Amino acid sequence: MAQMTMIQAITDALRTELKNDENVLVFGEDVGVNGGVFRATEGLHKEFGEDRVFDTPLAESGIGGLAIGLSLQGFRPVPEIQFFGFVFEVMDSIAGQMARMRYRSGGTYNMPVTVRSPFGGGVHTPEMHSDSLEGLMTQSPGLKVVVPSTPYDAKGLLISSIRDNDPVIFLEHLKLYRAFREEVPEEAYTIPLGKADVKREGKDLSIITYGAMVHESLKAADELEKQGYSAEVIDLRTIQPLDIETIIASVEKTGRAMVVQEAQKQAGIAANVIAEINERAILSLDAPVLRVAAADTVYPFSQAEQVWLPNYKDIIETALKVLKF
């Protein structure tokens, strides 16, 4: 075991899979010699060579096309999109092409691609760097979408994503890259995709969340504890497909639930989680399922992040509404 930040855990997962499978290829803008703009691919070019870890021209759509073509030649591509705000350039390759390949070819071809990309607010990035656009991905049949919140989860989920034979969008929250260290096993291990994790057990309220909001929710849960409320915090980890069983089991136990996301209210995946709860566990509910989400504006100018991004205080406020409904 070693103490790792999330970004180290990600590099470790990439190294593990580059070693494990010669078909794994890592490529993108500045991921080679430079080791990535966040050092996620640090040392990999040197260790595995230009043939396995390489830079590309600056064109996201081309990177997507490259991944598709390489998959058709039996490779297992792990391309990087430098910031997920740039996904619009490659929406066709992702949602219009790789997500559909198995289906459109009737199973003749499949796309074992893992698109890695950072996103997320709180670090004063310039425009189109921090936007939470995961909702766009979860609405595209054929994709799986993974958002880890801890170093341990990041490594296990990334190894699973790379080994998955269908396309996975692996979103890495910028603020969590180096926020804290955690014990991470040095050997290869996997965490199943589509499985949530109960990060904190509770009996009064289910807080269902993902990404940076997991930590805000845990902080809120600590505060709620002081006020006599026991909140269960569920980290979805995979937001498409959802772990319906874990969500519903928790709601049936607590009778109250809320969904927390960093994305705008009209975006993200909270609405989907609420719909699933309403369809499957309405008789267990003592209160409506409320949402914590950002305002329905464009992602804020960097100086306005603090007042715009949802945080633990918003979570506490909404939790009390649900608890006292």
Partner 1 sequence: MAQKTKQAKLDMTKQLQTVEEQFQVFQILNEEGKVVNEAAMPEITDDQLQELMKRMVYTRILDQRSISLNRQGRLGFYAPTAGQEASQIASHFALEKEDFILPGYRDVPQLIWHGLPLSKAFLFSRGHFKGNQIPEGVNILSPQIIIGAQYVQAAGVALGMKKRGKKSVAITYTGDGGTSQGDFYEGINFAGAFKAPAIFIIQNNRFAISTPVAKQSAARTLAQKAVAAGIPGVVVDGMDPLAVYAATKDARERAVAGEGPTLIETLTYRYGPHTMAGDDPTRYRTTDLDNEWEKKDPLVRFRTFLEAKGLWNEEMENETIEKAKEEIKEAIKAADAEPKQKVTDLMSIMYEEMPFTLKEQYEIYKEKESK
Residues noted as catalytic: 129
Residue 145 is a binding residue for partner 1 (CB under 8 A)? no
Residue 66 is a binding residue for partner 1 (CB under 8 A)? yes
Contact indicator for 273, 246 with CB cutoff of 8 Å = no
Residue 102 is a binding residue for partner 1 (CB under 8 A)? yes
**Which residue's entry shows tokens 């991921």?**
31
Residues from 228 through 267 that contact partner 1 (CB under 8 A): 240-245
Site string for partner 1, 42-61 (x = CB under 8 A): ---------x----xx-x-x
Binding segment for partner 1 among 162-170, 210-218, 251-259, 293-301 (CB under 8 A)?
162-170
Residue 135 is a binding residue for partner 1 (CB under 8 A)? no
Closest CA to 209 of 83, 52, 56, 319: 319
Q: How far apart are CA 11 and CA 204, in angstroms?
A: 38
Q: Which of 37, 39, 142, 181 binds partner 1 (CB under 8 A)?
A: 142
Residue 144 is a binding residue for partner 1 (CB under 8 A)? yes
Token pair belonging to 128: 């189109």
Please work out the total of residues on this chain that contact partner 1, with binding judged by CB under 8 A: 44
| Residue 283 one-letter amino acid | L
Closest CA to 206 of 318, 117, 123: 318
| Residue 25 one-letter amino acid | L
Q: Which of 14, 26, 53, 70 binds partner 1 (CB under 8 A)?
A: 70
How far is the CA of 228 from the CAs of 202, 259, 290, 305, 308, in angstroms? 11, 20, 20, 31, 28
Which residues would be at the binding site for partner 1 (CB under 8 A)? Answer: 51, 56-57, 59, 61-62, 64-75, 92-93, 96-97, 102-110, 141-142, 144, 164-166, 194, 240-245
